[in-house]
Each structure stands twice: as structure tokens, then as C-alpha cells.
Amino acid sequence: MKTDAKRLFKIWGWNTQGDFGPYTCYTDKRKKLVIFLRAPPRVPASPWQRRNRDRLKAIAAKWRALAPATRCKWSTAATKAHLRISGYNLYTFWQTRRDDQIVRTIEHQTGIHLLS
């Protein structure tokens, strides 16, 4: 990727993540912007990939269906527990692992009841 385009993204002040026009962008662990031309997949998604994508879509739908107060609890718990993830990520982790002990530990540390 040309450095002119990188400078342009930085000048505009965008913290771009994901696909943006013909580019894919992300920030690496050293906080540097990485940009490259987006490449379409060469083969169709496998059944395993489709299943996992559908599962994550279902979890996202469950998250959106939660009451705003419940979503706020998950976000507050993630912050109070000093996790480096959001409440949504914590909820997604719990939904994929179904390990209630982890969430119970966070409840104990924060005093916020997540699993009623």
C-alpha cells in the first residue's frame, strides 16, 4: 500500500478497522495503521466456517435483544474487572464457551450479577 494513502487515513483522523472501500485496515499491536488491498475469498466458505459465522450472528442477535440495562451491566462488569475487552466481547465469550464459572468469578470481583 502506498504511504500516501496511509498518510491520508491518518490526516483524516480515522481509526479505521475492517473493509473501507477497496482497502482492508486494522491497527496492529504497536498501534500502527496497517492497510492493504482487499482481496475477495478464492473459495466458498466451508460448512465449518458457515456454522461458526451463523453461531456468531445468533449471539449478536441475542445481545441486541437484551434490555439496555442488561447490556450496560455486562459493559460495566468488563470495565470494573479491568478486562481489556468490551461487555459485548465478554458476553460473546460466555455464549461461545458456556463456562459459567468464569462469569461467576467476574460477578464476584465486581459485585455485578450477570447470570440471573
Over residues 68-92, the pLDDT tens digits come to 999 999 999 999 999 999 999 999 9
CA gap 76, 67 in Å, rounded: 14
Ranges of the chain with pLDDT below 50: 1
Domain regions of the chain by residue span: 3-37, 47-110
CA gap 20, 57 in Å, rounded: 21
Residue 18's pLDDT is 76
Residue 26's pLDDT is 82
Residue 9's pLDDT is 60
Residue 23's pLDDT is 82
